[in-house]
Amino acid sequence: MINEIIKDAEERMGKAVVAVDNAFKKIRTGRAHPSLLDPIKVNYYGSETPLNQVANVTVEDARTLGVSPWEGNMVPEIEKAIMKSDLGLNPSTTGNLIRIPLPALTEETRGNYYKQAKSEAENGRIAIRNIRRDANNSLKDLVKEKEISEDEERRGQDQVQKVTDKYIAQIEEHLAAKEKDLMEI
């Protein structure tokens, strides 16, 4: 019983860390990376489709992304979607290739992106603490139903806390790496 609760909590906490990592990918650093365009959806024959499913996204150099649509008639739609996104990018088109130059980050934008990264990390920590609370409540329910003793509950809560500490430390490491990326010129 206790091991199942801890295993479930650990699995959910792992997913919370993955969610934070995905949020960090959307925060751009000074370098071009294809995952920057992951949140962009394109109108593809009436349905909103992720950009990477209608075009090939490549890194041309450190500050330029290239987008090659698989269908030539998608070029204007992709351009429109990139401009409408809140990423602040201005694509330029040559034939069927869309180039997206990434502007250099100013000190102010770096600070704003770092604040955003800290906010995402805090959301991840909150999610992990909520999972810990759920696990501890499950342990308390088992005690009420007299399926485990109070000593077993206490040991289970200690194990849940160790797992919680491990995953919060992972989020802290990822935040430190993102901060290093952002502050690098």
Token pair 């751009």 is found at: 28
- In order of their start, the domains of the chain are 2-26+106-183 (1.10.132.20), 34-101 (3.30.1360.40)
**Residue 158, burial from CB neighbour count under 10 angstroms (0-12, 13-18, 19+):** exposed
How far apart are the two ends of the chain, measured CA to CA in Å? 51
CB 98 within 8 A of CB 58: no
pTM tops 0.85, yes or no: no
Structure token digits, residue 146: 């007299």
Is the Cα dihedral 32, 35, 37, 39 positive or negative?
negative
- The Cα 67–Cα 100 span in angstroms is 8
Tens digit of each residue's pLDDT (9 = 90 or more) over 94-137 = 888 888 888 777 788 888 888 889 999 999 999 999 999 999 99
